[in-house]
Amino acid sequence: MTTVAPPAYDDVTEEFEPVIGLETHVELGTRTKMFCGCPTEFGGEPNTHVCPVCLGLPGSLPVANKAAIEATIRIGLALNCSIASWCRFARKNYFYPDMPKNYQISQYDEPLCSDGWLDIEVDGEIVRIGIERVHLEEDTGKTLHIGGATGRIHGASESLVDYNRAGIPLVEIVTKPVPGTGARAPQIARAYVTELRDVIRSLGVSDVRMEQGSLRCDVNTSLNRPGDDWGTRTETKNVNSLRSVERAVRSEMIRQAGVLRSGGRIIQETRHFHEDTGETTSGRSKEEATDYRYFPEPDLAPLAPDAAWVAELKAALPELPRVHRQRLQTAWGLSDLDMQSVVNAGAVELIETTIAEGASPEAARKWWLGELSRKANETGVELAAIGASPRQVAELQKLVDGGKLTDKLARQVLEGVVAGEGDPAAVMQARGIEVVSDSGALAAAVDEAIAANPEIAEKIRGGNQGAAGVLIGAVMKATKGQADAKTVRELVLSKLS
């Protein structure tokens, strides 16, 4: 059998049109679960944050969490949604070990929030993403598969279930299909999840930490040839980083194009994204709504948010991220292009916090968009997870401003900070890195360089100041790069004037 190589990405976007859709799940930061009083803290010994209600034991009755309802309405308002004046919870019936009741309390045809939009910026252009619905449900437990090579159920010898997460309030935000994105589809998907995360974080209703699962994204992708109907979609489940959202869309576009070109057909299914390979693999066939046998939840009263209360919540919304960024751009004196670079790097909050810790806007941008972005790209991690905090970056810059470090030495110190060796001052001490500030030692090093290079010294005495670079280099070598080049130059020219 001949193996056909997958098409190049540029070829895919010339021949096919992608349609994407994103379903984002957000764990709310309430103190207690959605329908019971169990705590919601992350971690803890397995199956210790549970009770008869979230375990679905016979005779237990749910009671809706008002704080979760309020948080959901605030999210809906921030996403320009209409808030339902009356809606109900429903039972979504399916069997899986992480659902102790064998059904999930969710919302079906009566979501709390619907028909909104979120504007994102891509390559300097505003793209409006339609929001189909924002609804409230309970999270499932967590299953750990043991014995297999992939950590998934296929090939595992046994599975363990932790119900600590079962019942935590979960908001699902579903976009309308997004056609017409072309080659930018992966970039638009990432920009949308990034902006959505920033909006939710600004509301203070969730920590939206993708690495802990409090923000998870299901990515729907389909391809069609121009003029044809939309193709069959696949759903890549639980993508857990911004970088992976972009990679999952790109990978699935390339895979589907290969299938369609070879005369095959796309199967509507869920798929798993693999961080190590950047590829997706088949999960299970995708259910339709009828498969879940939805019906109204009989143990919960309908929700009917008071219009005055909703208006109150809307009036109290904080400054939203796009407005906030525009204000920061003005305060930092950045061009549109410079600000877009900050946004693309995911560095807005990092730079803002670094400035609050005492660094100048210029210095904060220099470190986050320079050395730290380079390291993040090399290691394939998000900038915020690189290992240096805004406080540490501000401290590093203070050492530079105080003359204890040059930018070159500061990069060596920053390397130690990122490696987990401690704060900048501790790394300096441990590695023995500091600008040579002993004027006597520096003067002696300059004298030695002059004595060792008499011809260069004569050129400088004759007015050729450009030749000073040779002597400066010799001094820097003698001091192991720990002298300040500007100071050395001044000493050289002073002695040879």
DSSP 206-264: ----GGGTSEEEEEEEEEE-TTSPP---EEEEEE-SHHHHHHHHHHHHHHHHHHHHTT-
**Same domain assignment for residues 84 and 38:** yes
**Same domain assignment for residues 254 and 354:** no
Rounded (5°) CA angle 477-479-480? 60
Beta bridge partners of residue 222, listed in sequence order: 19
Average the pLDDT over 465-482 and give the result: 71
Q: Whole domain around residue 30: which residue ranges?
A: 9-312
Give the pLDDT of residue 1: 42
**Same domain assignment for residues 102 and 184:** yes
The C-alpha atoms of residue 113 and residue 103 are separated, in whole angstroms, by 22
What single-letter DSSP state applies at residue 184? G
Of 80-94, 321-335, 385-399, 401-415, the poorest mean pLDDT is in 401-415
The answer to whether residue 255 scores a pLDDT higher than 50 is yes
Give the pLDDT of residue 432: 79
The residue that leads in pLDDT, 299 or 469, is 299
**Same domain assignment for residues 369 and 308:** no
Quick check: is 3 in a domain?
Answer: no
The answer to whether residue 484 scores a pLDDT higher than 80 is no
**Same domain assignment for residues 344 and 300:** no
The answer to whether residue 438 scores a pLDDT higher than 60 is no
Give the pLDDT of residue 479: 65
Q: Which of 10-14, 207-211, 308-312, 384-388 has the highest mean pLDDT?
A: 308-312
**Same domain assignment for residues 164 and 125:** yes
The residue that leads in pLDDT, 486 or 39, is 39
Quick check: is 206 in a domain?
Answer: yes
Of 168-172, 239-243, 289-293, 299-303, the poorest mean pLDDT is in 289-293
From 278, 312, 346, give the residue that closes a domain.
312
Read off the pTM. Answer: 0.77
**Same domain assignment for residues 239 and 329:** no
**Same domain assignment for residues 373 and 282:** no
Give the pLDDT of residue 490: 67
Quick check: is 1 in a domain?
Answer: no
The answer to whether residue 154 scores a pLDDT higher than 80 is no
- Tell me the CA distances in angstroms from 68 to 53, 315, 360, 398, 482, one per residue in order: 17, 19, 39, 43, 56
Query: Is residue 89 within 8 Å of residue 300, measured between CB atoms?
Result: yes
Helix ranges (DSSP H) in 4-116: 9-15, 66-78
Quick check: is 4 in a domain?
Answer: no
From 431, 454, 478, give the residue that closes a domain.
431
Q: Which CATH number is 468's domain given?
A: 1.10.10
Quick check: is 391 in a domain?
Answer: yes
**Same domain assignment for residues 372 and 477:** no
pLDDT band with cut points at 50, 70 and 90 for residue 422: very high
Average the pLDDT over 229-256 and give the result: 93
The residue that leads in pLDDT, 31 or 291, is 31
Task: Tell me the residue type at 22.
Answer: L
Quick check: is 289 in a domain?
Answer: yes
The C-alpha atoms of residue 448 and residue 472 are separated, in whole angstroms, by 11
**Same domain assignment for residues 402 and 461:** no
From 411, 431, 451, give the residue that closes a domain.
431
Specify whether the backbone of 293 is left (phi greater than 0), alpha (psi in -120 to 50) or beta: left
Give the mean pLDDT of the chain: 89
**Same domain assignment for residues 337 and 191:** no
Looking at the 3D structure of the chain, how many domains does it have? 3
Average the pLDDT over 340-361 and give the result: 92
**Residue 201 CB neighbour total at 10 angstroms:** 16
CA atoms within 13 A on the CB side of 381: 12
Specify whether the backbone of 343 is left (phi greater than 0), alpha (psi in -120 to 50) or beta: alpha
The answer to whether residue 137 scores a pLDDT higher than 90 is yes
The alpha carbon torsion through 436, 442, 446, 452 (nearest 10 deg) reads -80
**Same domain assignment for residues 130 and 191:** yes
Average the pLDDT over 44-71 and give the result: 95
Quick check: is 454 in a domain?
Answer: yes
In what helix (H) or strand (E) does residue 60 lie, and over which residues does it extend? none
The answer to whether residue 4 scores a pLDDT higher than 60 is no
Quick check: is 2 in a domain?
Answer: no
Average the pLDDT over 432-451 and give the result: 68
pLDDT band with cut points at 50, 70 and 90 for residue 67: very high
